[in-house]
Amino acid sequence: MATLATMATAKQAALRARHAALLVCDVQERFRPILFGGEPAIAATRLAVRGACALDVPVVVTEQYPKALGHTVSDVRECLPEGTRTYEKLRFSMCTDDVREELRRLRVSQVLLCGVEAHVCVVQTALDLLRDGVDVHLLVDAVTSQRSLDRAVAVRCMVRAGCVPTTAEMALFEMLGEASGDTFKTISKLVREDRPCPPPEFASL
- Least Cα distance to 48 among 171, 147, 134, 138 occurs for 171
Cβ neighbours of residue 141 under 8 Å, at least 6 residues apart? 40, 41, 44, 167, 168, 198, 202
Residue 9 predicted with pLDDT over 90: no
> pTM of the predicted model, to two decimals?
0.94
CB 153 within 8 A of CB 119: yes
Going along the chain from its start, the domains and CATH numbers come out as 18-192 (3.40.50.850)
- How far apart CA 77 and CA 157 sit, in angstroms, is 29
Q: pLDDT tens digit string along 95-114? A: 999 999 999 999 999 999 99
Among all residues, which ones are annotated catalytic?
A: 26, 89, 121
Q: pLDDT tens digit string along 125-171? A: 999 999 999 999 999 999 999 999 999 999 999 999 999 999 999 99
CB 72 within 8 A of CB 61: yes
